[in-house]
Structure formats: C-alpha cells, structure tokens
Amino acid sequence: MRKPIEIRQAHFPGRAPIDSYGNGGFRFAEMSHRGSLLMLPSGIYGWDMMEGDPLTVDYFQRVLEEAADIEVLLVGTGKDIRPLPAALRAVFKEHGISSDPMSTGAAIRTYNIMLAEERAVAAAFIVV
C-alpha cells in the first residue's frame, strides 16, 4: 500500500533575495515556490494569500510573532497597490512595525535593497 502524500508547509530557514517573480510564483536561493510568500527574520514561508483576499490581521499572525525583529514590513499587494486597512495598520504600529503597501514588483525591489543593507525588514508578497 502506498503512503499518502504528505503536504508540509513551505519554509526556507534563512533570508534570501527574490531572484525573479511572476506566473504564479517566485524564485529565490536556487529554488522556486508557487504561491504567496512571507519573508521574515526566521525564514521564508509559504503564505495562503491571493490577490483580492481581505488584508486582515489573521493573515499576518506570523509577522506579529516576530515583531521584535522587524522595523519595516513591505506588503506587496499584487499587480496594483492596495491600501492597508486602518485596523491592520494600527496593529502593526502597536507592535512597532512600520508598514508600507505597494505593488508586489515594487515591494520585491525594495525588499532586496533593504535586505542587502542588512535592515530589519520583512515582507509579505502576494503572488502575481
């Protein structure tokens, strides 16, 4: 009898710049990932978020768990920029995180620069 396929949550235990993106995924650290990503101090995680999903605190719990190590959170909102809801911005501010929404492409470019500068940056990239 065959073992059932085990689905594990995607996680890369380190920090890496994004090499490329598009067509439903991202390339980084000589790997590829289909779907959205959270780029956190503890590593890179698959993120269950699609363009158009509501931007609620629930989707950002992992970010808040690492808030002590994050000064800036870049939120790539997809093809177009979407403002973050006031309630979400307030929660980030309470945790000492400055949040900046922008298109996913702009967020990736900014993240790569800030990562190279060794800044306390994290990012949430919605797949395009």
The predicted-structure confidence for 37-65, as pLDDT tens digits, reads as follows: 999 999 999 999 999 999 999 999 999 99
CA-wise closest residue to 82 among 100, 108, 58: 100
Beta-bridge mates of residue 105: none
- The answer to whether 21 and 109 are in contact (CB under 8 A) is no
Range 116-120 average pLDDT:
96
Taking the C-alpha atoms of residue 92 and residue 73, their distance in angstroms, rounded to an integer, is 9
Taking the C-alpha atoms of residue 93 and residue 71, their distance in angstroms, rounded to an integer, is 10
Q: Quick one: pLDDT at residue 110?
A: 98
Q: Is 45 helix (H, G, I), strand (E, B) or coil?
A: strand
Under the banding of pLDDT at 50, 70 and 90, the label for residue 1 is low
DSSP state at residue 91: H
Dihedral of CA 95/98/103/104: which sign?
negative
Query: Cα–chain-centroid distance for residue 111?
Result: 10
Q: Quick one: pLDDT at residue 88?
A: 98
Domains and CATH numbers, the chain: 11-125 (3.40.1230.10)
In the chain, the N- to C-terminal Cα span, in Å, equals 39
Task: Find tokens 């900014």 and name the residue.
Answer: 110
Q: Quick one: pLDDT at residue 11?
A: 74
